[in-house]
Structure 1
Amino acid sequence: MLTLSLIGIGCGDPEQLTRAATRAINTADLILIPRKGTAKSDLADLRRTICADVLTSDTTRIAEFDLPVRDAAEADYRKGVDDWHDAVAATWSQTIASHLAGEGKVALLIWGDPSLYDSSLRIARRLDPLPTIEVVPGITSIQALCAAHALPLNDIGEPFLVTTGRRLREGGWPQGVDTVVVVLDGGTAFQSLDPSGLHIWWGAYLGMPDQIIMSGALAELSARIAALRQEARERHGWIMDSYILKRRP
């Protein structure tokens, strides 16, 4: 039997690794490390660092592979994502088959947590043959962002909504909530909103040595965050950021 462990590794700080994650890494026969090109080599480097720090098993092998790139030009967003997931699943299956003879335990180190705005679980269910899937939870970017700002996410007795930059840009402020968490924003969707009465808590490279955070009235910080984000993206070649917006009367 083949078992696939999706191990949440937090947001960049190796100390966010849980004991359960360390145990799962050390019981794996094979650890897969995706490469996303030279611009995002930091992400593969972090996974290598974690393995070097916590891996004590002499029998665990590490295999790296190039992650397929999603076709951003596809007009149908969901079809583009679906096709990309198929391509990633095929790559996972090929890499596993070339290192394991149909049985054993495979581990993938997942940024943040595998169950929140991550496609690993959906991709895993497309593998052929289909493995037994287990999940080891990890610290999410939302937790790391709140911790960085010492911010309680929800107001007392009030709900909050987690959404994407694309949905915020296309749909505007969601109805029925005063707190919105935005992840996977390829741009600066907060600039599409009327900033009146809105407060933002923003962070990039959370948990990493280059972490950047900023908070304040959106009307005052919108342009500054956009400029800082662009500068950081050009310097690193990539950026992962998230933010919380609260509407104040």
Structure 2
Amino acid sequence: MIRLDLIGIGTGSPDHLTVQAMRAMNEADLILLPRKGSAKSGLLDVRRAICDAVLTQPVRVVEFDLPTRDAGRDYVDAVQSWHDAIAAAWAAQIALHLPEGGRLALLVWGDPSLYDSTLRIARRLIRKGMEIDIRVVPGISSLHALTAAHAIPLNRLTQAVTITTGRLLRAHGWPAGAGSVVVMLDEGGAFQTLDGSDIEIWWGAYLGMPAQSLIAGRLAAVSAQIMETRARLRQEHGWIMDIYLMQERRDRSAAST
């Protein structure tokens, strides 16, 4: 039997780990850290730093190469095949390092339940016949790290909140009925497809980390600044994880009610 702890690590700051997460890491027999190639080596460095900061017990930490997604195929088919390959990579590491079973921990950006596929990948192992007990240790999500950094509420009074992705925002525009829109997994600038004159945006990258960067204002006024800042930070650090919240301006919302 393998006990698999999926541990939310927020946006990469050790301060975002809960006491429960720290305990789970120290009680693990094995922590797997994925390597995503030299272009994203900074992501591995963040996970290493978390282990260095949190581990007080002699826990075995193993790095492995993560398969890459085929960007040239249909998106859904490519993701499904990619998840199959990741599950196979996990299974190989488990067979190599925990042949008699034990506790395995994986460090998950944000929260394992919010626009993350780690749980879906883990269930592939069960379907393959492996005995796995999946536990989730929630962390501070990037969504709440963003609203905390800007000191703003997520929703406006009586209005709905929609959480979506950059890909869906590009394809479908502003979600119908949404007062607040949170956009995750944006490869860059999906908000540029909107008429930003009546939209406010709160953007953040590297939330809770020394490199944290925040921009807020009317979308039409700060859109170019966000794109320039994002490109510069990605060049400096080799990777970037950002998220943003948008709301229609209060005067426009009031006029439409």
Pairwise TM-score range, normalised by the shorter structure: over 0.9
Q: Are residue 41 (structure 1) and residue 41 (structure 2) matched?
A: yes
Question: Structure 2: how far apart are the matches of 1:130 and 1:216?
Answer: 50
Alignment-derived partner of residue 242 in structure 1: 243
Shift in Å, 1:236? 1.8
Q: Could you say what the CA RMSD is over the residues aligned between the two structures, in angstroms?
A: 1.1
| Alignment of structure 1 residues 8-23 onto 2, 5 Å | 8-23=8-23
Q: Which has the higher helix share?
A: 2
Moved over 2 A (4+): none
Alignment-derived partner of residue 63 in structure 2: 64
Shift in Å, 1:99? 0.4
Question: Structure 2: how far apart are the matches of 1:54 and 1:199?
Answer: 38
Question: Structure 1: how far apart are the matches of 2:50 and 2:191?
Answer: 34
Most deviating of 160-169 and 95-104: 95-104
Q: Deviations over 1:5-38 (max 9, x none)?
A: 1001111211111110011111111110111122
Q: Deviations over 1:133-161 (max 9, x none)?
A: 00000011111110110011101122110
Shift in Å, 1:130? 4.3
- Can you give the 5+ residue segments of structure 1 that lack an aligned partner in the other structure? none
Question: Structure 2: how far apart are the matches of 1:7 and 1:86?
Answer: 21
Alignment-derived partner of residue 176 in structure 1: 177
| Alignment of structure 1 residues 148-159 onto 2, 5 Å | 148-159=149-160
Letter in 1 for 2:179: D
Q: Deviations over 1:167-205 (max 9, x none)?
A: 000001110112100000012000001112100000111
Matched positions, count: 247
Most deviating of 223-232 and 163-172: 223-232
Alignment-derived partner of residue 54 in structure 1: 54
Task: State the identity as a percent.
Answer: 58
Contact kept, 8 Å, 2:161 with 2:178, in 1: the verdict is yes
Question: Structure 1: how far apart are the matches of 2:124 and 2:50?
Answer: 27
Most deviating of 141-150 and 8-17: 8-17
Question: Structure 2: how far apart are the matches of 1:91 and 1:130?
Answer: 16
Question: Structure 1: how far apart are the matches of 2:131 and 2:199?
Answer: 46
Alignment-derived partner of residue 201 in structure 1: 202
- Can you give the 5+ residue segments of structure 2 that lack an aligned partner in the other structure? 253-257
Q: Are residue 103 (structure 1) and residue 101 (structure 2) matched?
A: yes
